Chains A and B, each alone.
Chain A
Amino acid sequence: MPTTTEAVSKTVLHDCRDTWVATLVELAETDERIVAVVNDSVGSSKLGPFQERFPERLVNVGIAEQDMVGVGAGLANGGKVPFVSAAACFLTARAMEQIKVDAAYSQHHLVLVGQSPGMAYGELGPTHHSIEDLAWMRAIPGLTVVVPCDPTETAQVIRWAAAHDGPVYVRVSRMGVPDIVPDGYTFAPGRALTLREGKDVTLVATGTTVVRAVAAGELLAAAGVDARVLHMPTVKPLDEDALLAAAAETAGIVTVEEALTSGLGGAVAELLVRRRPAPMRFVGVPDTFASTGSVEWLLDHFGISPDGIAAAAQDLLSK
């Protein structure tokens, strides 16, 4: 029974960036409109294979995030389907107004790919962490916010975003994750994936934390608690039906994210307060800048671990 992040990571792990770029190259083979826009981030976005195959369709504006997003919007205006890819911390914070005005308010078909979000750049410290992005991005009207949990889903999200006529923010993590979604799974915005049925309490996770929530479900089962485990691939829009059902059918909801808890947690809380108030616990980064340290250490430190998630559920059930 895995009880720590270390134990969880013993399964075969994948870097979802490999899937993202393989999918983009595959799409670009048949869709001439697809271009990539980067801020000197070819390496960190793992876009080497794309650059090699389509050198003229990789627009590198250099270290200039405002220009990067504005140019992306202009490429969309000129008939292209741009994938704007950069470290999530710089993409979202440095180009926030361009994301708001040029991408979202303008309703461009533009895909913003936030690489290595959350605390993936653990040792580099809070300047390079992107724990605010889910709260920031979900506040912007008209922007779909996607946090895929494994390679299969990442590929589906990239294909979906290439076809979706609107602005999208996608988190793609470098942090290793196992295969999670079942065979036959199809990503759709606003549709949660039930990974474990349960009637006592509900764990709702997204992205890199889904595997930890699944492990927490097993820990709780061993302790006699029947936890429902959901993966919420879109922080915006939420699967409201799945959340309202969880609020009605279980004792409450524990949200789990590699971000400030004002991301997924805040979004779920807003929904429940409006529609069906239920007890909640929030697993994520509290209102603080994280320390330096490996991402595994940081996740454990903030209780974004099987033990921490299970403890949050037990706390909810005990009150």
Chain B
Amino acid sequence: MPTEEDLVPRVDPEAVPSDTLTVLGRVPAGATREEAVAHLREAARLVRRRDIQMIRASGLGHVGGEFSVIDILITLYLDAMNMSPELLGDPDRDRFILSKGHAAAALYTTLAIAGFLPPEQLGTFMQPLSQLNGHPARTKIAAVEASTGPLGHGLPVAVGTAFAGQLDGSPRRTFVVTGDGELQEGSNWEALMTAGNHRLSHLCVVVDRNRLQQGARVADTNDLEPLADKLRAFNLEVVEVDGHDHGALLDVFANVPAASGKPTAVIAHTIKGHPISFMSDNVAWHHKVPSAEQVAQALAELEA
């Protein structure tokens, strides 16, 4: 069996580039669906490039779970959500919480390409005194709604945020992305009960269903199935989608609230490490740091 290292070409370790991320901003108003999807696809490509460079530069990070969630983040921030840097002070704008806070670099790069963070700040990721902690902190970045990192925190906070909007009769929607392994934390199910019973229709729970957790397959650890049935039993409207298909994600998010009197649950089927050949669906890439050669290989694959 070839090792991972055998699968990638030998390159100069000093040759790892550091992109200056271009701020693409939101999909332009009036764009056709094809144009919107092309915009999101290019943004996701640039974000994955910058993300893996940041992981390599800091020597730490969670590249696998970042590559599984990036298409979801990009679709939300650059099109689906009523959210932009100018709207930060608007109480009726949409809200976003990344409950799987270990995918922080994916959030930071998405915020940068959307114009919430200066792209050059990405170079400080996990450096001493940086605002870009290994896990996102709401006190350090204006666009971050909740400090996350320990799993099972984002969903209850999202429920409270949605509850406040419901009390105010606000049109704002609250989106929260959880990992799938993360749903083993009981606090999520406490929060899902509250969300379903209080009919928080403007809450959208997105499960990044990549089927891997840190040490093994979710199914081999403490299985979640039948996940859709469980969520339906908690009074959520469940939608399943290919979490890497920007057009399909756009359709799903545009339809939130998906049902009257029910929160929406989106089970986004994803692949950890997508689309890099040697990372995809490979449990080794939870928080493995790529070698310079592996970065080069990944960047080459992202050009293809």
Contact = CB atoms under 8 A, between A and B. Distances in A.
Interface stretch (A75-83, A181-189, A225-233): A75-83
B167 A66 contact: no
Given A67-B159, A74-B146, A77-B95, 10 more contacts: A62-B194, A67-B193, A70-B157, A70-B187, A70-B191, A71-B156, A75-B164, A77-B138, A77-B145, A106-B138
Interface string B141-160: 00001111110110111111
B207 interface: no
Interface of B: 91, 95, 137-139, 145-150, 152-153, 155-165, 167-168, 186-187, 190-191, 193-194
**Main SS class of interface, B:** helix
16 contacts: A57-B167, A66-B190, A67-B159, A70-B153, A70-B156, A70-B187, A70-B191, A71-B160, A74-B156, A75-B164, A77-B95, A77-B145, A79-B91, A80-B167, A82-B160, A105-B137
Interface stretch (A95-103, A168-176, A200-208, A278-286): A95-103
B151 to A, nearest CB: 10
Interface of A: 35, 37, 56-57, 59, 61-62, 64, 66-67, 69-80, 82, 97-98, 101-102, 105-107
Contact of B194 (A56, A64, A79, A98): A64
B163 A75 contact: yes
Contact of B191 (A57, A71, A106): A71
A74 B161 contact: yes
A116 B164 CA distance: 28
A37 B159 CA distance: 13
Contact of A77 (B146, B149, B168, B193): B146
Residue picked from A57, A74, A75, A82, most chain B C-beta under 10 Å:
A74
Contact of A67 (B137, B139, B191): B191
A79 B164 contact: yes
Contacts of B186: 66
A74 B187 contact: no
4 closest cross-chain pairs (CB), A and B: A74-B160, A78-B164, A70-B156, A67-B190
A70 B160 contact: yes
B187 A77 contact: no
A76 B162 CA distance: 11
Contacts of A74: 146, 156-164
A77 B157 contact: yes
A82 B138 CA distance: 18
Contacts of B163: 59, 71, 74-75, 78
Given A77-B160, A78-B161, A66 B138 contact: no
A35 B194 CA distance: 16
Nearest to B156: A70
Nearest to A37: B160
A135 to B, nearest CB: 21
Q: Which residue, B150, B157, B164, B186, has most C-beta atoms of chain A within 10 A? A: B157
A79 B153 CA distance: 19
B157 A64 contact: no
Contacts of B153: 70, 97-98, 101-102
A76 B158 CA distance: 11
Contacts of B139: 105-107
Given A67-B194, A71-B191, A101-B147, A77 B161 contact: yes
Nearest to B154: A70
A66 B161 contact: no
A78 B164 CA distance: 5
A106 to B, nearest CB: 5
A35 B187 contact: no
Contacts of B148: 101
B199 to A, nearest CB: 13
A18 B139 CA distance: 35
B190 A61 contact: yes
Contacts of B161: 74-75, 77-78
Contact of A101 (B91, B150, B193): B150
B220 to A, nearest CB: 26
Contacts of A97: 150, 153
Contacts of B137: 105-106
